[in-house]
Structure 1
Amino acid sequence: MHFVKQNTYFISDLHLGAPSLEQSQQRERKVVDFLKSIQDDCATLYIVGDLFDYWFEYKKVVPRGHTRLLGTLATMADAGMQLHIFTGNHDLWMTDYLGQELGATIHHQPLKIQLGTGQFYIAHGDGLGPGDLKYKMIKRIFTNRICQWLYRRLHPNFGVGFAARMSRTSRNSQSDDDHAFLGDKERQLQHSLSVLENENIDFFIYGHRHHLKDLPLTHERKDGTKIEARYVVLGDWITLDSFAKWDGTTFTTSTYSPEQ
């Protein structure tokens, strides 16, 4: 009997390339093992930002490494899996390389999509919600096409190296407390509530915050209508090895171990 793949998987924040080559390759092998464990039933894979700890594409040059993961994704895509990759705050300079090589759809903005019985809102999460004006200004500069064109005038050895140093500096400036769940103060959660004021969403799927959350979300609109959704943060593959799965009717979050 022919088996029809129907499951959709979500992962985020792999940060390949950090903090060292050895640690990155260990993490990469773990992710590859996970992908191989789901390849028989995975119809669609969403990588919801920060696949790489740093990334910048020149017309003819991309950062070296990550061959195990890219090869596995290519094999799965060739077998029919749909691949969606969201840019995050660490790899926002992603353009068309992975689209051409892997057949991936690259998303630079939040995506609203119907999957089975659920309406999904998917985004990495950086820069969403109120406040954080300094980062929002920096992101506008980094995503400006003229600024990107000027950056590409730099030699790749310097350009990629500088991007790696900026990413490392940003990461080293953070502590575990920066990833702690802030409850109602979470900007992504506040953004979700603002979306629910005008739209019907069943699942909000985010990365970026490096904690694993799957919470009920209720919003009362100005007209008194109550809307319910689920607020999901996917965790990461640095400490949590977490993922989410949707079979068209049931949504679950879990963590990966080689024994499962």
Structure 2
Amino acid sequence: MNVTLPKGKKIYFSSDNHLGAPTINESRPRERKFLRWLEMARKDAQAIFLMGDLFDFWFEYRTVVPKGFVRTLGKLAEMRDEGIEIYFFVGNHDLWMNGYFEDELGIPVFHDPEVFTINDKKFFLGHGDGLGPGDKGYKRMKKVFRGRFFQWLFRWGHPDIGMKIAQYFSVKNKLISGNDDHIFLGEENEWLATYAKRKLEKEHFDYFVFGHRHLPMTIKVGENSTYYNLGDWITHFTYGVYNEESGFELKEFEK
């Protein structure tokens, strides 16, 4: 996909807000901070990429979506109505999206990594879960979670019961989270950096941008290629920003 970036405009990237964790009320201060970030980005954003796990859990029933998050959804709707491009990549906590963002907010949703060309630069974008070597147990379970039969089965339960089950697994169980302890493994052992290097063997990309690891990272993976991890909005409050003059930068939002 192509995004045209006019002079003076910027592209913003955010990941791993986990709104609703551990409870909606406890996550509300973080949500307010994220809303202030959206207002900041609103001033000069050509596009905003939400790179997964915006919610700690999300499941779309046929006529029901999870309670809460009205402030965030409303702000995204306002910005989209103003013409700001917004793209959403599902994470491992909010992978059960099935049309609500597209139909209600006009925001495209991606369930797999996607290549974007921003002016003349190639970006490989994705949440990051299930990529690279290792974590085979989670990769197997991810296929189950994404399967139509599992989603059909889950949808037949009452939403109140389904949400309680999902919240338990989201917080307690690595079957959803993956084997990810959010500890820096070193440049040679970071599996998303390894994944990026393997992709470069077949095709050039200027930037690899992922979330999932909850750690802001900048790792050179090729002579003219860099992997960035966006960090999170739980501990680091970091985000990515790109423009023609400065290239890609990781920043911390302090307001």
Aligned counterpart in structure 1 of residue 237 of structure 2, from 234, 241, 246: 241
The corresponding residue for 1:161 is 164
- The answer to whether the 8 A contact 2:193-2:219 is kept is no
Aligned counterpart in structure 1 of residue 208 of structure 2, from 186, 204, 220: 204
Aligned counterpart in structure 2 of residue 253 of structure 1, from 226, 230, 250: 250
Distance between the aligned counterparts of 1:51 and 1:196, measured in 2? 28
The corresponding residue for 2:111 is 108
Residue type of the alignment partner of 1:253 = L
Residue type of the alignment partner of 2:92 = N
Deviation at 1:64, TM superposition (A): 0.3
State TM-score, norm by structure 1.
0.90
Residue type of the alignment partner of 2:205 = I
Q: Percent identity?
A: 40
Distance between the aligned counterparts of 1:74 and 1:158, measured in 2? 29
Aligned counterpart in structure 2 of residue 59 of structure 1, from 59, 62, 69: 62
- The answer to whether the 8 A contact 1:115-1:248 is kept is no
Distance between the aligned counterparts of 2:173 and 2:241, measured in 1? 30
Per-residue CA deviations over 1:155-176 (Å, capped at 9, x if unaligned) read 11111221111102137x99xx
Distance between the aligned counterparts of 1:123 and 1:40, measured in 2? 25
Is it true that 1:228 corresponds to 2:224 in the alignment?
A: yes
Is it true that 1:89 corresponds to 2:86 in the alignment?
A: no
For the aligned residue pairs, the C-alpha RMSD in angstroms reads 1.8
Distance between the aligned counterparts of 1:158 and 1:198, measured in 2? 46
Aligned counterpart in structure 2 of residue 40 of structure 1, from 22, 43, 63: 43
Is it true that 1:189 corresponds to 2:206 in the alignment?
A: no
Deviation at 1:186, TM superposition (A): 1.3
Dislocated runs of 4+, deviation >3 Å: none
- The answer to whether the 8 A contact 2:126-2:211 is kept is yes
The corresponding residue for 1:145 is 148
Residue type of the alignment partner of 2:62 = K
Instruction: Report the 3-state secondary structure (helix = DSSP H, G, I; strand = E; otherwise coil) of the residue aligned with 1:179.
Output: coil
- The answer to whether the 8 A contact 1:47-1:85 is kept is yes
Deviation at 1:4, TM superposition (A): 7.4
Per-residue CA deviations over 1:207-237 (Å, capped at 9, x if unaligned) read 000000122222xxxxxxxx53011000000
Give the gaps of 5 or more residues in structure 2: 1-5
The corresponding residue for 2:12 is 9
Instruction: Report the 3-state secondary structure (helix = DSSP H, G, I; strand = E; otherwise coil) of the residue aligned with 2:181.
Output: helix
- C-alpha change, 1:145 and 1:44, in structure 2 (3 Å) is same
- The answer to whether the 8 A contact 2:236-2:252 is kept is yes
Distance between the aligned counterparts of 1:248 and 1:97, measured in 2? 33
Deviation at 1:5, TM superposition (A): 6.5
The corresponding residue for 1:222 is none
- The answer to whether the 8 A contact 1:130-1:187 is kept is yes
* Count of aligned positions: 245
Give the gaps of 5 or more residues in structure 1: 219-226
